[in-house]
Structure 1
Amino acid sequence: MHFVIGIIGLIIVLVLGFLISSDRKHIRYSPIVIMLVLQFLLGFILLRTTVGTTIVGGLAGVFDALLRFAGSGVDFVFGGIANKESFPFFLNVLMPIVFISAIIGILRYVKILPLFMKGVGLALSKINGMGKLESYNGIASAILGQSEVFISIKKELPTLSEQRLTSMSISAMSTVSMSIVGSYMALIQPRYVITALVLNLFGGFIIASIVNPYHLENDNLVIEEDKDQTFFQMLGEYILDGFHVAVTVAAMLIGFVALIAMINFIFAKITGLTFQEILGYVFAPLAFITGIPWKEAVDAGSLMATKLVTNEFVAMTELAKGGWDFSARTTAILSVFLVSFANFSSIGIISGAMKGLNEEKGNLVAKHGLKILLSASLVSFLSAIITGLIF
């Protein structure tokens, strides 16, 4: 039964994308079909085969080692602050971002990361039927983050059309930053994080191809690199950037969790239901079409809605707390859904980052903010549905 519901959900997501498309006549269906097949194939390998288990185990081992190394630095600075046997979220989940950000900076400085991103971007452009820059942007967003990625193409920004900017923003909001992946793995199972990264990459291209099709006349690919920085200048910059991200996420979590607690209290006094419970009922049908059983759909819908109105960290933290009576399959679907930047605050993050580089282009992104968010949310649902069909 869940297979039939999943297929119906898949059709609903694609139809919704078609309905909000800016140019339905020019949608190219062949690349979309190819990418859907790739999503199922890669998802099956990662979730259902020994090869996939080995790959995921290896990657999880790498991040686990990085988190242990990061822990050495955290213990040196904050040792003794946390009580024994406690799990301080800021120290154990957010502070490792500083170290992983430094690793990313080093890989970029020695030209390994740009070479990888450029190579994969060129290869993806042969599959997705999109431009080299859009393809590069998809993989770069998953490594650098939704705001940092635009810094790497700042020379190209003045020449980019409104359509290209919109597609690139959809890709950026659909993915997550590699510097934060380790923190996600501290909250949910690594295999779901890695599966989501792969599915969202292709999902972003699929939805962007449907929602925002266009023909390219000029397909240049230029990756901006800062050649004036010394190694230690770069390292200091990336370490401070990582700390800034960690503190920003912490501040947002403090604010959002406190607000949700207050709103839940007010709603419970007035209606007898918390705000999250009400959102759960609203989102239950959406959770149901991903293949989640109806008896779990209200609770699952509550977490999905929490992610949309706050951010993925808040929802992951709620999921990690336990106390949910979810099956393994529902946990897999939910976990994959939560791994993306598709939430309301991301509209401000992307448009703000763009404005810092180019005022005009930033205004264009802000103009299409809700459409970009809706498209990125469709990507999350698409990845969740495919996970439900495979699991």
Structure 2
Amino acid sequence: MTAMQALLGLLVFIGLAWLLSERRRAFPWRAVAAGLALQFLLAGVMLGVPAAQQAFLVANELVLALDEATQAGTGFVFGYLGGAEPPFKPEGAGDTFILAFQALPLLLVVSALSAVLFYWRVLPLLIRGLAAALRRGLGIGGALGLGSAGNLFLGMVESPLLIRPYLQRMQRSELFALMATGMATLAGTMLVLYASIIGAVLDDALGHLLVASLLSLPAALLLAAVMVPPTGPPTEGGLEAEAEPASGAMDALVQGTLRGLDLLLQIVALLVVVVALVALVNSALGLLPAVGGEALTLERILGWLFAPLAWLAGIPWEEAARAGSLLGTKTVLNEMLAFLRLAELPEQALSPHSERILVYALAGFANLGSLGILIGGLGGLVPERRREVVELGPRAVAAGTLATLMTGAVVGLLDTAGLA
């Protein structure tokens, strides 16, 4: 029953994309078949091959090493607020943990390292390799392949810089696919942070989040082909631009640190505002009559709305409302708050099977806040197509959400079959 549930979910998610399509008569059967085949192939290899499991362990050790290194820096600068030994005896578990001073500074370290790796040509090499695989597997053009692959490492605003010379002449369908893949994946900078947050929920969290982003790439590309079908030959192109060229490794380190600082401050500000607004909404809803013996909250309402999608992804119905609440939080608010809420759930609130599906389904930037960032960034790169970017924005959020749900369903299928 669980396998049939997830298979039905895959069909429904693709069907929803077709209902949102600009041209419903042109259904790209070949692109859908190739995308599904590539998604299952990657999932089978990454989750079922012992060597991949070993890579997960290495990735987990990397997270621990980066976390310890970051705490050395935060402890030196912020003292016990940053994780150093407190000058008093804590009375309860977690009393000295402060998100802004102990977890979020990891962004600074990873951003700086990413900039240095880009300068040393390590990341461009990985991006080219992944882009070549996407071109061969899905038949997309070189420009879209590079831009899509860049989303895994640089993020949805920085990756279009890699193909800036081609943005103006890309097909509408290719521009949309670039936006959809940005919404369906997580940047490498955020992967490490989220892995540190959900490490207690899922073993080898970084490896799973990496696989989640990788699996969501073909899913987003096939959904993009359904929602905005291509009308001409693909745009070819190579890696002709860099995010921000640096004069040396130290310059790259400084630039990466400053970009990470901007991101950290944005996240802190957004978390303060979002959590405050949720509290305000819950206070207003508390004035309404109780439903089912409990007060109405935004989390409960989102849970009811997104429960069917959680069930279609393979989560049992008795857990669907709780999972749906997290999916709704991710879509309406942001994925960081959803991961934080997931980490705060009591033990056995969700089964291990549901937790795994949910982690994969949450691993994407598809939310309203990210839409504003994407429109601002991409619209600034190609101002002559800004109106088109704005027009395609809501569809891109839908495509990113459906792509991560497809990834959750695929992983759930393999987990049910004992292959993951």
- TM-score band (shorter)? over 0.9
CA contact (8 A) 2:81 2:98 kept: no
1:290 Cα shift?
Answer: 1.1
SS in 2 for 1:142: coil
Q: Could you tell me how far apart the structure 2 residues matched to 1:129 and 1:115 are? A: 20
Q: Tell me the alpha carbon deviations over residues 93-145 of structure 1, each in whole angstroms, 9 at most, x when there is no partner.
A: 21111111111111111122112212321232011111111111121011001
CA contact (8 A) 1:288 1:294 kept: yes
CA contact (8 A) 1:145 1:178 kept: yes
Superposition pairs of residues 195-214 of structure 1, within 5 angstroms: 195-214=211-230
Task: Find out whether 1:313 has 2:313 as its counterpart.
Answer: no
Greater Cα shift, 306-315 or 248-257:
248-257
CA contact (8 A) 1:31 1:127 kept: no
Superposition pairs of residues 318-337 of structure 1, within 5 angstroms: 318-323=341-346, 325-337=349-361
Identity level (%) = 28
CA contact (8 A) 1:153 1:223 kept: yes
Decide which of 154, 159, 180 is 1:149's aligned counterpart. Answer: 159
Residue 286 of structure 1: aligned partner: 309
CA contact (8 A) 1:6 1:389 kept: yes
Q: Tell me the alpha carbon deviations over residues 319-367 of structure 1, each in whole angstroms, 9 at most, x when there is no partner.
A: 1012261100111111111110010111111110123223222332111
Greater Cα shift, 149-158 or 238-247:
149-158
Residue 2 of structure 2: aligned partner: 2
- Which runs of 5 or more residues in structure 1 are unaligned? none
Q: Could you tell me how far apart the structure 1 residues matched to 2:359 and 2:289 are? A: 30
What letter matches 1:327 in structure 2? S
Task: Find out whether 1:296 has 2:319 as its counterpart.
Answer: yes
Residue 340 of structure 1: aligned partner: 364
Q: Could you tell me how far apart the structure 2 residues matched to 1:217 and 1:330 are? A: 39
Alignment CA distance shift 1:101-1:52 (3 Å): same
Residue 288 of structure 2: aligned partner: 270
CA contact (8 A) 2:46 2:53 kept: yes
CA contact (8 A) 1:268 1:275 kept: no
Q: Could you tell me how far apart the structure 1 residues matched to 2:67 and 2:166 are? A: 35
TM value normalised by structure 1? 0.94
Alignment CA distance shift 1:49-1:271 (3 Å): farther
Decide which of 383, 387, 395 is 1:363's aligned counterpart. Answer: 387
What letter matches 2:61 in structure 1? G
In terms of fraction of residues, the more helix-rich structure is 1
Residue 112 of structure 1: aligned partner: 122
What letter matches 1:194 in structure 2? L
Alignment CA distance shift 1:294-1:228 (3 Å): closer
Between Structure 1 and Structure 2, how many residues are aligned? 391
Task: Find out whether 1:194 has 2:201 as its counterpart.
Answer: no
Residue 70 of structure 2: aligned partner: 70
What letter matches 1:314 in structure 2? L
Task: Find out whether 1:127 has 2:137 as its counterpart.
Answer: yes
What letter matches 1:76 in structure 2? F
Residue 219 of structure 1: aligned partner: 236
Greater Cα shift, 281-290 or 14-23:
14-23
What letter matches 2:302 in structure 1? L
Decide which of 265, 287, 303 is 1:247's aligned counterpart. Answer: 265
What letter matches 1:370 in structure 2? P
Q: Could you tell me how far apart the structure 2 residues matched to 1:186 and 1:133 are? A: 33
Q: Could you tell me how far apart the structure 2 residues matched to 1:30 and 1:74 are? A: 51
Q: Tell me the alpha carbon deviations over residues 182-213 of structure 1, each in whole angstroms, 9 at most, x when there is no partner.
A: 11111223143123122112211221122222
1:228 Cα shift?
Answer: 6.3
TM value normalised by structure 2? 0.88
1:31 Cα shift?
Answer: 4.1
Decide which of 72, 90, 94 is 2:100's aligned counterpart. Answer: 90
Q: Could you tell me how far apart the structure 1 residues matched to 2:233 and 2:67 are? A: 42
Alignment CA distance shift 1:137-1:102 (3 Å): same
What letter matches 1:199 in structure 2? L
Q: Could you tell me how far apart the structure 2 residues matched to 1:228 and 1:275 are? A: 45
Greater Cα shift, 82-91 or 182-191:
82-91
Alignment CA distance shift 1:334-1:228 (3 Å): closer
1:257 Cα shift?
Answer: 1.2
SS in 2 for 1:368: helix
